[in-house]
Amino acid sequence: MSAAFLQFALLLAIMTALVVPVGNWLYTVFAGERHTAPERLTYALIGINADERMGWQRYGLVMVMSNLVMLLLAYLLIRLQGLLPWNPAGLSSQSPDLAWNTVVSFLTNTNWQAYSGEQSLSYFSQMAVITTFMFTSAATGFAGAAAFMRGLAGKNGADLGNFWVDFTRIIYRVFLPICFVLALVFVWQGMPQTLNPYATATTLEGATQTIALGPVASLESIKHIGTNGGGFFSMNAAHPFENPTPLTNALHILSMLLLPSSLTYAFGRLISNTRQGWVIFGGMLVMFVGFLLTLYSFEQAGNPILSKLGAEQTISATQAGGNMEGKEVRFGIAQTALFATTTTAATTGSVDSMHDSYTGMGGFVPMLQMMLNNVFGGKGVGFINFVQYLILSVFIAGLMVGRTPEFLGKKIEAREIKLVMLAVLAHPLSILGFTALAVALPEPLKSLNNSGPHGFSEILYAYTSGTANNGSAFAGLSANTPFYNLTIGLAMLVGRYLTLLPMLAVAGLLASKRRVPLSSGTLPTDTLLFGALSVFIILIVGALTFLPALTLGPVADHLQMVYP
């Protein structure tokens, strides 16, 4: 156990040490005015005026319309896959409902996969659609975060930046340099990076086996740096070609946390108050560590049902190592728990184990983190969601003392609170509404491989993952049906745009307001006390919203395991 805690402490210490240098790097990207030659060439090729300043309405409109164009183009490419090059396996196109789910998933940075990558998509589709969307969808989210930060820091609501400039800079200055170096490291560690046809091997028994290959390393680098999560292979990061060594597993974890954690410091620089950034980082880290220790302890304790069976030596030996069902022996429970906590905290969705095989409370943690969707979070959205709770905390504290709430020197009034609550409520309405629809209809229930609380957890997890733009699955639900492909796709769109756009509007409204001077009644938001208050409100709101559903799923699953 001490070795496990040492691993946790070491990886989190490395992440924390990188917050300042990477945060400064992001700050220069968000605040810089000069354009590089590749950026200017890109603007000229697509006819963009880099000097245009956008308010929140213009910024949001350009974001949505550009995403719509990319969605239609990607859908066309997936549907025409059989006619396009670099298809050595001769794969046909996906069905209309599956193609819809796939392109919406990668457009929204969810990367939910209702298909097996090596059996459904050609090399061309993997690169032209999947890998490309991993860059563009993550860049869209980070661009939204940059505009949001400028709005909170700025004095002019008509100038949140330029979407195209933010979008292009993030790809050129952040994603491409990191991913290029990381991909080389991954190739060194044994990941394939090739356009050659699938390999054919003869097994020890003399049978012939086809081994899928492809440009894996390049996809894996942006998959985690951009908190995307979609796997080249159906086994995702549990596949030895996607995650061949403990070093790559550790690099995957650090990659997922790198940019979301550093955004907090970049925000502090933009508002000229780094203490505020550290308060946000501290709140996220406290929740992350709490969830990590909860998940690890339940998985390390094992399954009490097996312990009660008792006498067999093999069972006793298995339980001594904890609940290893669905986990890679080469990673063990510690790295597996850290990976699972990270991928659902950073809303990445990559997995190196089967979450369906976790204990009841082990599955509770990933689900609750996605429901909260602000424990670091990915592609800028987690940061925005945390700040929406900061604003909500200021409002609640203002009600308690009878003062008009303020945040960063700006009055929080009815318009801002209505938009914040729209963003807060869209998340549970999507998760709980689609889950209720799925369990109320007979046809969706046929996709379950388990009955009772665990089966309910599989459905609840699917819509939580889709709405949180996470993409991981409990793996016990056969979700490749027209119903699930359509409804999970809709949940992804709600989770992406009905949380991002209202908060962009809040930033625009606050930017246009006059800054008020500090007074004796001003509640400081850059203190340890306020950080603790915000974490408390996040957990309370999450508990009140989702605890009934969680009680029917993973909590009941745990109780059945303890009291069979």
> Greatest CA span in the chain, whole angstroms?
81
Measured from the Cβ of residue 73, the count of other Cβ atoms closer than 10 Å reads 14
Q: Are 183 and 301 in contact (CB under 8 A)?
A: no
Q: Are 264 and 331 in contact (CB under 8 A)?
A: no
- pLDDT per residue over 233-277, tens digit each? 778 888 888 899 989 999 999 999 999 999 999 999 999 999 999
pLDDT, residue 118, reads 63
CA 3 to chain centre: 28
- pLDDT per residue over 488-504, tens digit each? 999 999 999 988 999 99
Mean pLDDT, rounded, for 72-76? 90
As given in the structure block, the two tokens for residue 153 are 């820091």
* 204-218, 312-326, 479-493, 498-512: least confidently modelled range: 312-326
**Does the pLDDT of residue 95 top 90, yes or no?**
no
* 201-210, 358-367, 480-489, 555-564: least confidently modelled range: 201-210
**pTM more than 0.95:** no
As given in the structure block, the two tokens for residue 259 are 């940019």
pLDDT, residue 547, reads 92
pLDDT, residue 317, reads 47
| Half-sphere exposure for 188 (CA within 13 Å, toward CB) | 8
Mean pLDDT, rounded, for 468-481? 85
- pLDDT per residue over 130-145, tens digit each? 888 888 989 999 999 9
**Does the pLDDT of residue 77 top 90, yes or no?**
no
* 154-158, 360-364, 414-418: least confidently modelled range: 154-158
Mean pLDDT, rounded, for 92-98? 85
| pLDDT band of 117, cuts 50, 70, 90 | low
Measured from the Cβ of residue 101, the count of other Cβ atoms closer than 10 Å reads 29
Q: Which residue has the tokens 């954690």?
A: 261
As given in the structure block, the two tokens for residue 38 are 């590749």
**Does the pLDDT of residue 306 top 50, yes or no?**
yes
Mean pLDDT, rounded, for 41-65? 92
As given in the structure block, the two tokens for residue 467 are 């709405």
**Does the pLDDT of residue 313 top 60, yes or no?**
no
Q: Percentage of the chain with pLDDT > 90?
A: 47
Q: Are 28 and 262 in contact (CB under 8 A)?
A: no
Measure the CA dihedral 137/504/153/257, to 10°: -40
DSSP assigned state of 226: T
**Does the pLDDT of residue 312 top 70, yes or no?**
no
Sequential DSSP letters for 62-77: HHHHHHHHHHHHHHHH
pLDDT, residue 157, reads 65
| pLDDT band of 315, cuts 50, 70, 90 | very low
**Does the pLDDT of residue 92 top 90, yes or no?**
no
- Closest Cα to residue 42, out of 176, 180, 135, 167? 167
Query: What is the rounded average pLDDT for all residues in the chain?
Result: 87
Burial level of 312, CB count in 10 A (0-12/13-18/19+)? exposed
R_g of the chain computed on alpha carbons: 23
